[in-house]
Amino acid sequence: MAMTNDNKSVCVIGGGISGMTTAIEAAEIGYEVYLIEQSPSLGGRVAQLNQYFPKLCPPQCGIEINYKRIRINPKVRYFTLAEVERVSGEPGNFTVTLRLNPKYVNEKCTACNKCVEVCPVERSSSFNYGMSQTKAIYLPHEMAFPMKYVIDGTVCQKDQCAKCVAACPYGAIDLSMQPKKLDINVNSVVLATGWSPYDAAKIDNLKYGIYKNIIRNVEMERLAAPNGPTHGKIVRPSDNKEIKKIAFVQCAGSRDENHLAYCSSICCLASMKQATYVRSQYPDADIYIFYIDIRATGRFEDFFTKVQADNKITFIKGKVAKVLEDSQTNDITVVAEDILSGKKIYTTVDMAVLATGMVPNGLTAAMPSDIVYDEFGFAVSDLQTPGIYATGCAKKPADVAGCIQDATGTALRAIQTRVGV
Amino acid sequence: MDKKLGVYICSGCDIGNSLDVDKLIAVARDEQKIPVCTKHATLCSAEGVGLIKKDIQEQGVNSVVVAACSPRVHFDTFSFDPSVFVERVNLREHVAWSHVSKDEDTQMLADDYMRMGITKATKANPPKPYVENIAKTVLVIGGGITGMTSALEAAKTGYKVVLVEKAPVLGGWMRRWYKQLPQNPPYKNLQDADIERTISAVKTNPDIQVFTSAEIDSIAGQPGMFDVSIRQNGKAITQRTGSVVVATGWKPYDAGKVEGLGFGQFPNVINNVMMEDIAVQGKGQIRRPSDNKEVKSIVFVQCVGSRDKNHLPYCSSVCCLASLKQASYVRASNPDARVYIVYKDMRTPGQYENFYKDKQADNGIFLTKGDVAGVAENPDTSLTVSVKNTLIGEDVSIKADMVVLATGMVPATDSSILNLQYRQGKELPLLKYGFPDSNFICFPYETQRTAIYAAGCVHQPAESRACKDDATGAAMKAIQALELETRGAAVHPRAGDLSYPIFFMQKCTSCKRCTEECPFGAIDEDDKGTPKPNPNRCRRCGVCMGACPERIISFENYSVDIVSSMLKSIEVPEEDEEKPRILVLACENDAYPAFDIAGFNRTAYNSNVRIIPVRCLGSVNIVWIADALSRGIDGIMLIGCKYGDDYQCHFVRGSELANRRMENLKEVLQRLVLEPERVQVKELAIAEYDRIPGIMDDFLAKVTELGPNPYKSF
């Protein structure tokens, strides 16, 4: 099967906020766009956030606008649960080979939820970073786009169970579905492959995955989100206890030669934002932020000023050396050197949040020529392969607005590519 | 063309289990007199859609009412020829999934939604676009790195560019830089600014027309058809352009305003821009201004003006990197020179951490956190910098040959730039600290003046790499605006919308409300105050329609009459039936989806509520409230986005205006002897769907307490 273009088309790999933006912006100018996303829904990590800094507004508002822009624009064709196997050809005439992984649910799905009611198998929710369960057949989240259920093929018992097949009134479930190949022909390719949180377990001294009440910033977003595992109530994992004291550990991995030597740019602001989540639920909670430098550039400084005005939020300049756990209470003691006072300080809290950095996601697909990456794995913007452009956090660690600006510009570069140019 | 309606009711997804579908058909066929009326068990199936298509082809149906799921799903399934109007009645999310099944009240709710949908389909038409001859030329104001990048990128995409620069030469600040920050890995080595190559690329590009020593006298008209008057050497030149990129850049903050640092007082206290001049003049040799002596010791004072509530409350983003760059000039100039950098926080985000680390490793560069208390000149013309709150805990004094103040960036928006001939003002509205839009994280190119986009340091303080990216993004939006306008389509956030407001001028009283309240300055007025709409400036929010007391402003598919007729089609039970009726006018981007999600989660809320989506709360005309109350509706709630400083309304002022208008309405209600509490405005974000049952119950309790609407029996 092959799809051909009218010589004005772009393939965007990655359906997060950057990829969606590049795709929609190019399509609104009139180009044909193919948007390829490996997970079952568009929206990426931004859809997993509770609020944006500094406005503290829900990302779902802008995402809904973007979903609508895609819905009403026939020039955007999207493929979810799809991977790029290889890109071949040359600028103006690339062939992108897709592998469309089986959803086991076809277009007839109406999202009525009857299948979930009968499904006996549970899986860990990747949307909630494993903090809750879904059934083997599931909708990624209640605003998922496309609003179609999918089956996790790795846990589904398929024909041995097939209860969903009988329960579905619309004949939407096809357990025999196989992966499909699809070739698309495009002028240019955009890599919007995004980022993953740094594997905090690699930071030995911070005991992530060992002490229950140490979580990462991405998990904190899910805890605070109304559609998260606790319906938005921030409680600590070991015993669902409310929070009286909490610590944020900045640069967990970032700015560290042994882990990520670069600065992840957004973690200071993310932690300050999460401090406001805690404050809005716990007016008396003590909040400690351990940092090296607070990096609130541009007008974000206003947000820093606002958070500093909270007299129960304490900023401590000092890198956290280690953490201890009380085996009885599961409380966490954060040990750091307060650089300003020169003293070693011990702060005992109910829960500690690691501000883990951003790691660029690699691309496994074979490319027609080598993409130039820097030593950290970010694609280098000035040394791009002709006709192939990287955008968003594939290029540098950046906040949402920065990614969208970049993705808008990348859309322009992508549509400049024509045969022979 | 005569309207021919077809009504199609789906009984799938619990709709059939919850409701008596035959009763719904009776509402359509017997009560609303729509003969073409069908039900199907799965309307979204090929067979179901086939039924509709067949009626369009064979029976000439040109207005389709799909009573099934939310319009947020199956959009393409139920899209037909553009000449066919489609109205979706949300029986699934807003009825079957959110209300008690097989219940009298639920059935009445569905019956009312059928009536409202049929009424809308009867009155509304597919829009015909406003199409004009569009000039596919982008005007770029400012010839620095940002403006030149926008110009080159637009030209490369095949568009003509008019570039206007105030100075006699192109290049902006970067022409004055000795070196620029590393642009590529390993992000350690300074590079030549290399601006001449960009200048020459601009000058030799046949698609870019450059005007130097030139300023904008005026911009009249509307996107796609701007008449731009450029003044160059006293001469006026007229150009027609379609969209605008504002790249007027920045100015250094006046360091003289920061007391105690000796700027303007001691010759060897300079700002960071002067430091570049010194490096250029000395070809890398750093010599101090007072006696041309080689600099052996130097102090950089960070955040001069920036991060200071008395000066620039924001961070200028680039000064840490600029000082590190200039520290390398000094170190390269004299390997024995000592460099001190006194900072609050070192801000070198992303890969620039590499550059910072490299400088940290230089044992001639001393970095310390601290607050500079003052700079004094010694008799030998050296300077002493007093620093408090250092990391070592004590106050220190640093003696040096020269002091560089890392002064912040001020956006160049203080003078007249655009001179727009718009009723609402000549320039881009500014948000804060002199920076123009956007107020949106999700849409950084949102602007309150259609097809005019800011980029570079006038948009936000940024280093040159980020400026170039921003310049490219702004060029993209400028081009996109041209293409959308060519098709007669709206730009963001209703991109692609072909409807536009049509004014029935014979009834206009020149009250000027529309011209004042349009958030985008789309409507001008003549000497008598008569509105002069500019459809290409319009964003189709309907704020003008909400403002108009004479109800003369309508869209083909959205009007005062359409919504009035919809709400009048609600059946209001007699007082003794004790079934109050609540009308909710809901923002279609946030509140309406929130109701959908509540339904998806099977969250039940009161079934006395009837929801009508609106483009923006700002489009709500007071007459709808009056009509609803005179119809006997007991309470009306407007649900929209947050307003105020951190407004979330994507039409900027819509929800704020709605709130203000409702305040005014209160007096009217009191005159009618109706309690003002019957009308409420509520802020609800899309993610706050869990609040819906509570909000509805509270409002119903309030309305019940007030008693039935006395106009019910009229």
Interchain CB contact of A296 with B (< 8 Å): yes
Do B452 and B435 lie in one domain? The reply is yes
Residues 516-575 of B with CB under 8 A from A: none
Do B61 and B151 lie in one domain? The reply is no
**B168: cis peptide before it, omega within 30°?**
no
Q: What is the ipTM of this complex?
A: 0.96
Name the nearest CA neighbour of B189 among B351, B363, B404, B403. B351
Q: Which pLDDT score, from 0 to 100, does residue B390 have?
A: 83
Interchain CB contact of A397 with B (< 8 Å): yes
The radius of gyration of chain A from alpha carbons, rounded to an integer in Å, stands at 23
Which domain CATH number covers B113? 3.40.50
Residue listed under structure tokens 């209860």: A163
Residues 3-22 of A with CB under 8 A from B: 17
Domains of chain A are: 2-101+179-194+361-415 (3.50.50.60), 114-167 (no CATH), 198-358 (3.50.50.60)
Question: B567 lies in a domain?
Answer: yes
Please report, for residues A99, B104, B493, B562, the alpha-carbon distance to residue B608 in angstroms, rounded to integers and kept in the order given.
Answer: 49, 11, 32, 22
* Nearest neighbour of B495 by CB, restricted to A28, A339, A342: A28
Question: B511 lies in a domain?
Answer: no
Do B62 and B162 lie in one domain? The reply is no
Name the nearest CA neighbour of A26 among A373, A386, A372, A391. A391
Do B141 and B108 lie in one domain? The reply is no
pLDDT in tens, B109-133: 999 999 999 999 999 999 999 999 9
The radius of gyration of chain B from alpha carbons, rounded to an integer in Å, stands at 32
Geometric angle at alpha carbon B414, from B413 and B417, rounded to 5°: 60
Contacts of B392 in chain A (CB under 8 A): 342
Are the Cβ atoms of A295 and B689 closer than 8 angstroms? no
Q: Which of B369, B432, B476 to mutate to test the interface with A (most CBs of A within 10 A)?
A: B476
Contacts of B319 in chain A (CB under 8 A): none
* B562, B541 Cβ separation under 8 angstroms: no
Alpha carbon of B455: minimum distance to chain A alpha carbons (Å): 10
Question: B360 lies in a domain?
Answer: yes
Name the nearest CA neighbour of A144 among A126, A157, A162, A159. A126
* Nearest neighbour of A142 by CB, restricted to B187, B440, B597: B597
Question: B337 lies in a domain?
Answer: yes
pLDDT in tens, A289-321: 999 999 999 999 999 999 999 999 999 999 999
Write the burial class of residue B22 (CB in 10 Å: 0-12 exposed, 13-18 middle, 19+ buried).
exposed
Query: Which two structure tokens, joined as six digits, stand for A132?
Result: 């809750």
- d(CA B677, CA B669) in angstroms, rounded, equals 9
Report whether pLDDT(B529) > 60: yes
Q: Which pLDDT score, from 0 to 100, does residue A421 have?
A: 41
Give the model's confidence band at B670: pLDDT under 50 very low, under 70 low, under 90 confident, else very high: confident
* Nearest neighbour of B13 by CB, restricted to A59, A112, A407: A112
Mean pLDDT estimate for chain A: 95
Alpha carbon of B276: minimum distance to chain A alpha carbons (Å): 22
Residues 187-216 of A with CB under 8 A from B: none
Interchain CB contact of A404 with B (< 8 Å): yes
Are the Cβ atoms of A293 and B470 closer than 8 angstroms? no
Residue A139 CA from chain centroid, whole number: 17
pLDDT in tens, A326-340: 999 999 999 998 887
Q: Mind spelling out the 3-state secondary structure of B565-634? A: HHHHCCCCCCHHHCCCCEEEEEECCCHHHHHHHHHHCCCCCCCCEEEEEECCHHHCCHHHHHHHHHHCCC
In the DSSP assignment, the letter for residue B345 is S
Alpha carbon of A297: minimum distance to chain B alpha carbons (Å): 5
Do B201 and B305 lie in one domain? The reply is no
- d(CA B383, CA B377) in angstroms, rounded, equals 4
Do B709 and B574 lie in one domain? The reply is yes
Report whether pLDDT(B714) > 70: no
Are the Cβ atoms of B72 and A71 closer than 8 angstroms? yes
- d(CA B146, CA B247) in angstroms, rounded, equals 6
Q: Which pLDDT score, from 0 to 100, does residue A419 have?
A: 52
Contacts of B45 in chain A (CB under 8 A): 108, 170
Contacts of A415 in chain B (CB under 8 A): 157
Question: B512 lies in a domain?
Answer: no
Mean pLDDT of A209-222: 98
Q: Which pLDDT score, from 0 to 100, does residue A305 have?
A: 98
Contacts of B393 in chain A (CB under 8 A): 340-342
Domain boundary, last residue among B408, B429, B456: B408
Query: Which two structure tokens, joined as six digits, stand for A193?
Result: 């492959």
Are the Cβ atoms of A404 and B444 closer than 8 angstroms? yes
Do B562 and B710 lie in one domain? The reply is yes
Interchain CB contact of A172 with B (< 8 Å): no
**A283: cis peptide before it, omega within 30°?**
no
Q: Which of A55, A66, A69, A341 to mutate to test the interface with B (most CBs of B within 10 A)?
A: A55
Residues 85-144 of A with CB under 8 A from B: 108, 110-112, 142-143
Report whether pLDDT(A5) > 50: no
pLDDT in tens, B593-646: 999 999 999 999 999 999 999 999 999 999 999 999 999 999 999 999 999 988
Distance from the first to the final alpha carbon of chain B: 36
pLDDT in tens, B243-279: 999 999 999 999 999 999 999 999 999 999 999 999 9
Q: What is the percent of chain B where pLDDT is above 90?
A: 95
Do B709 and B565 lie in one domain? The reply is yes
Give the model's confidence band at A362: pLDDT under 50 very low, under 70 low, under 90 confident, else very high: confident
Are the Cβ atoms of A25 and B480 closer than 8 angstroms? yes
Name the nearest CA neighbour of A135 among A104, A108, A107, A110. A104
Are the Cβ atoms of A262 and B354 closer than 8 angstroms? yes
Contacts of A383 in chain B (CB under 8 A): 184
Question: B521 lies in a domain?
Answer: no
Report whether pLDDT(B236) > 90: yes
Q: Which pLDDT score, from 0 to 100, does residue A1 have?
A: 40
Contacts of A66 in chain B (CB under 8 A): 442
Are the Cβ atoms of B349 and A305 closer than 8 angstroms? no
Q: Which pLDDT score, from 0 to 100, does residue A2 have?
A: 44
Are the Cβ atoms of A263 and B350 closer than 8 angstroms? yes
Q: Which pLDDT score, from 0 to 100, does residue B44 have?
A: 97
Do B100 and B32 lie in one domain? The reply is yes
Contacts of B140 in chain A (CB under 8 A): none
Q: Which of B469, B486, B601, B642 to mutate to test the interface with A (most CBs of A within 10 A)?
A: B469
Query: Which two structure tokens, joined as six digits, stand for B201?
Result: 């690329």
Residue listed under structure tokens 């280098």: A380
Geometric angle at alpha carbon B523, from B519 and B525, rounded to 5°: 135
Question: B497 lies in a domain?
Answer: no
Give the model's confidence band at A418: pLDDT under 50 very low, under 70 low, under 90 confident, else very high: low
Do B422 and B393 lie in one domain? The reply is no
* Residue-level length of chain B: 714
Alpha carbon of B595: minimum distance to chain A alpha carbons (Å): 12
Interchain CB contact of B590 with A (< 8 Å): yes
Write the burial class of residue B677 (CB in 10 Å: 0-12 exposed, 13-18 middle, 19+ buried).
middle
Do B208 and B274 lie in one domain? The reply is no
Interchain CB contact of A343 with B (< 8 Å): no
Which domain CATH number covers B361? 3.50.50.60
Domain boundary, last residue among B75, B99, B126: B126
Q: Which pLDDT score, from 0 to 100, does residue A4 have?
A: 45
Give the model's confidence band at A420: pLDDT under 50 very low, under 70 low, under 90 confident, else very high: very low
Alpha carbon of A378: minimum distance to chain B alpha carbons (Å): 9
Residue B454 CA from chain centroid, whole number: 12
Mean pLDDT of A237-265: 97
Domain boundary, last residue among B435, B459, B486: B486
pLDDT in tens, A58-88: 999 999 999 999 999 999 999 999 999 999 9
Q: Which pLDDT score, from 0 to 100, does residue B672 have?
A: 82
User: CA-nearest residue of chain B to A341?
Assistant: B393
Are the Cβ atoms of A301 and B597 closer than 8 angstroms? no
Contacts of A342 in chain B (CB under 8 A): 392-393
- d(CA A214, CA A337) in angstroms, rounded, equals 19
Question: B545 lies in a domain?
Answer: no
Q: Which domain holds residue B90?
A: 1-126
Alpha carbon of A328: minimum distance to chain B alpha carbons (Å): 36
List, in sequence order, the alpha helices (H) in B19-164: 21-26, 46-59, 104-123, 145-156
Question: 0.95 exceeded by the pTM?
Answer: yes
Do B464 and B325 lie in one domain? The reply is no
Please report, for residues B393, B550, B626, B676, the alpha-carbon distance to residue B672 in angstroms, rounded to integers and kept in the order given.
Answer: 71, 20, 10, 10
Residue B235 pairs with which residues in a beta bridge? B232
* Nearest neighbour of A110 by CB, restricted to B44, B369, B484: B44
* Nearest neighbour of A297 by CB, restricted to B349, B473, B477: B349
* B283 C-beta neighbours (distance < 10 Å), count: 8
pLDDT in tens, B554-608: 999 999 999 999 999 999 999 889 999 999 999 999 999 999 999 999 999 999 9
Report whether pLDDT(B95) > 70: yes
Based on the structure, what is the number of domains in chain B? 4
